[in-house]
Chains A and B, each alone.
Chain A
């Protein structure tokens, strides 16, 4: 983090192509007939990788002071992660319904 050597425009194009390739992998996985859980995990992992690359390079966080990253991202990820707190109730709705 916090490097002053910014990438050239052609490097950014390379990053864009790389992100598009990840999207291609996501589509390929979709038609591999994986189980919903495996597919969801794979897609979320790849989307998170894309998001990390976009934040670091396209949104320039890599070139900002580290304090900006450490102030914003742990708290945001904590809030987003804590929303999962509600998921067990969704499984209860699914498994305890009378008519399936």
Chain B
């Protein structure tokens, strides 16, 4: 019996550089780094979701909740939001420059993004130290209300701050590798995806942790 002839259309296969074998193309149309980052983002979104839902659960179940944020803290939070949003735009500029093979420009924008990330972290720590100076601790409320505010605020914002700091370090590594030619534009794009996710999470953390706790 004759075997049916196998036809391979060009759009159905990819040839991986350095591994010249025919592979079936990803149905998602993105490379494996980007798909891996999307899977990480999904798992990380669930982690943040669990933290924020735990905060909501404790907040609903607690009669006297601390509301320590005055207008100056809210303004500080708005500045932090503006800084992080700006860093997302500079990250977009870095990705675009890398896709146009403009290495110097891409590195410049990556540098600006790292700087803005560092400014965000500094503003965040300033807010933390202000709260600590007022007597707020992980398990202590200086106003005498429920002690859980400190635990939820420091854990949620601490997790986000860890992501920002990790992102700045990752961008520094990517920028160095990109300059040396070890990494290409797909690495910059994948790092950008992570950075935008960090920005996305802040869009939920700011209203839920700051605005809902303003007095």
Contact = CB atoms under 8 A, between A and B. Distances in A.
User: 7 closest Cβ contacts across the A-B interface?
Assistant: A93-B61, A90-B60, A43-B207, A90-B61, A83-B53, A80-B49, A50-B203
Interface stretch (B14-22, B152-160, B169-177, B191-199): B191-199
Contacts of B107: none
Contacts of A55: 200
Contact of A43 (B27, B45, B60, B211): B211
Interface stretch (B88-96, B111-119, B135-143): B88-96
B102 interface: no
Contacts of B214: 30-31
Given A58-B88, A72-B38, A76-B45, A87 B60 contact: yes
Contacts of A60: 193
Interface in A41-61: 43-44, 46-47, 50-51, 54-55, 58-60
A40 interface: yes
B85 interface: yes
Q: Which secondary structure dominates where chain B touches chain A?
A: helix
Nearest to A39: B212
Given A12-B92, A59-B196, A80 B203 contact: no
B36 interface: no
Interface residues of A, number: 49
Contacts of A30: 74, 211-212, 214
A81 B45 CA distance: 12
Nearest to B207: A43
Contacts, number: 123
Nearest to B208: A43
Contacts of B204: 47, 51
A9 B109 CA distance: 13
Interface of B: 27-30, 38, 42, 45-46, 49-50, 53, 56-63, 74, 78, 81-82, 85-86, 88-89, 92-93, 96, 193, 196-197, 199-200, 203-204, 206-208, 211-212, 214
Contacts of B207: 26, 43-44, 46-47
Interface of A: 9, 12-13, 16, 19-20, 23-24, 26-27, 29-31, 36, 39-40, 43-44, 46-47, 50-51, 54-55, 58-60, 64-65, 67-68, 71-72, 75-76, 79-80, 83-84, 86-87, 89-94, 97, 100
Given A87-B57, A93-B61, A64 B29 contact: yes
Contacts of B92: 9, 12, 58
A77 B28 CA distance: 19
A29 B114 CA distance: 32
